[in-house]
Structure 1
Amino acid sequence: MTGRVHSWDMSTGVDGPGTRFVLFLSGCPLRCRYCQNPDTWHMRDGRLSGVDEVMVRIEQCAAFLRASGGGVTISGGEPLLQHAFTAEVLHRCKALGLHTALDTSGFLGAAADQALLADTDLVLLDIKSFDIRVYERLTGGHLAPTLSFAGRLDALGVRTWIRYVLVPGWTDDPTAVEGLATFVAGLSNVERVDVLPFHKLGATKYQELGLPFHKLGATKYQELGLPFPLRDTPTPDTALVDRVRAQFRAHGLTAD
């Protein structure tokens, strides 16, 4: 079996517990305005790789990953766009005794069958906004599939971390944050909420790659080499980050 692989990296922090081998797959159905990896949007830009080839790399560092309490995280792009390839890599990693994590927007959650989820120890679920209209403007997609997937993960008891990118003027509305906190608090499988401050570290990729920003179902940026869509949006200050984290904590959630 083959898939389109963008890259891989070793990381610690928000990609799951311990040191992680993070496999980035190509292709994504969303076009988030704050996307830091526009080079992962199109499957055609990824390198065609076999599962065996991927596993050779993972096996080379498997002992270290186990010793560090880490494992393998499949990210993107959107890994569920290549759900069969993702499922096979997860299954092979579990056979090696490695902890597995899936980083997804949940937009294609319906593509994750029971076998794939059975081989997934942790889901990193990115909920972009709890305001339906803001979600559509921000991502070009719809919120409902993500919430449905969150409910399914809860029913199956799949451990989940929620990831929420805090963007001033977009995802900082107190009412929307309160709605999301209430929803997440009603899920028994969520272990923590990671509030991730918006940054612009990937902004130069838009100009370097000459990629247009395509927003599904809305205005399209037609010119190549367009600047980063949120180039004029400020990064959140400490007070705003603390306020949003406090809103989640007020609902009994662990928020960092």
Structure 2
Amino acid sequence: MNTGRVHSWDLSTGVDGPGTRFVLFLSGCPLRCLYCANPDTWHMRDGQEMTVDAVMAEIEKYRTFITAAGGGVTITGGEPLLQPAFTAEVFHRCKELGLHTTLDTSGFLGSRATDDLLADTNPVLLDIKAFDVAYRSLTGAGLAPTLTFATRLSRHGVPVRIRYVLVPGRTDDESAIDGLAAFVAGLGNVECVDVLPFHKLGAAKYEALDIPFPLRDTPTPSPDLVDRVRGQFRDHGVRAF
């Protein structure tokens, strides 16, 4: 029986996939995004060990409700593909119950996702943090694995929603956004791009963990900047919100 390191779970509506969803947060992440709102999920050691059966027992408590609300189960993190076998088994069990499944991932560990896992996933929420040299300074890692994973999802016809966090001075470069928009438009399986304005809601967690919040002095984006970036994606024929 697969076991995983679980940070927590919660119910959400309209943020982590369609409908009201049971959202499972796994512990552990290979990236260190400067704007991360959940630094408490970085380390696997901080999660509780759970079996798939135990997770499914929690999901079962809400199954009637989330099904009636047109929702399902989302696995996020941390990074769920740091624990691919556990993620795959939970999703497979969900599909056997007729529950809709959504994977929220950076794609950096996309090579760890088996074809069977992808077959049990619809859609993938793919976080593309930047589309130029800013990616490494923003995350501590390279962009190439995420783009490779995005191309693979397109090849397999797996529906994708792109998430793009807009950080003034870091991810608002016009040419980089045009490059990302052109890449996304060429995939053929992207339902839309969610342009997510940078926020500081996780700042208190950094204080509690005695970790400096790197973007404490960075402003949130103006409505005009958000509109400009959404418009750039739309100019390439990509739905953007």
Q: TM-score range by the shorter chain?
A: over 0.9
From 209, 224, 238, give the equivalent of 1:253: 238
Does the CA-based 8 Å contact 1:204-1:228 persist in structure 2? Answer: no
TM-score by length of 2: 0.98
What secondary structure does 2:83 align onto? helix
CA distance in 1, matches of 2:96, 2:123: 16
Does the CA-based 8 Å contact 1:103-1:124 persist in structure 2? Answer: yes
Q: C-alpha displacement at 1:18, in angstroms?
A: 0.5
CA distance in 1, matches of 2:237, 2:36: 30
Does the CA-based 8 Å contact 1:25-1:79 persist in structure 2? Answer: yes
Partner of 1:24: 25
Cα deviation, 1:177-229, whole Å, max 9, x if unaligned, reads 000000000011100100000000001111201xxxxxxxxxxxxxxx23211
Q: Does 1:171 align with 2:171?
A: yes
Partner of 1:89: 90
Partner of 1:220: none
Does the CA-based 8 Å contact 1:162-1:190 persist in structure 2? Answer: yes
Q: C-alpha displacement at 1:101, in angstroms?
A: 0.3
Instruction: Report matched runs for 1:1-256 at 5 Å.
Output: 1-131=2-132, 133-209=133-209, 225-256=210-241
Cα deviation, 1:81-128, whole Å, max 9, x if unaligned, reads 000000000000001101000000000000001111011111000000
In structure 1, give the amino acid aligned to 2:173: D
TM-score by length of 1: 0.93
In structure 1, give the amino acid aligned to 2:233: F
Give every structure 1 segment of 4 or more consecutive aligned residues whose post-TM-superposition deviation is greater than 3 Å: none
CA distance in 2, matches of 1:248, 1:13: 21
In structure 2, give the amino acid aligned to 1:42: H
Cα deviation, 1:140-159, whole Å, max 9, x if unaligned, reads 01100000000000000001
Root-mean-square deviation (CA), in Å? Answer: 0.6
CA distance in 1, matches of 2:10, 2:173: 34
CA distance in 2, matches of 1:68, 1:253: 28
CA distance in 2, matches of 1:227, 1:40: 16
CA distance in 2, matches of 1:71, 1:204: 30
CA distance in 2, matches of 1:121, 1:93: 12
In structure 2, give the amino acid aligned to 1:77: G
Q: C-alpha displacement at 1:19, in angstroms?
A: 0.6
Return 5+ residue gaps in structure 1 as ranges: 210-224
CA distance in 2, matches of 1:151, 1:109: 11
Partner of 1:212: none
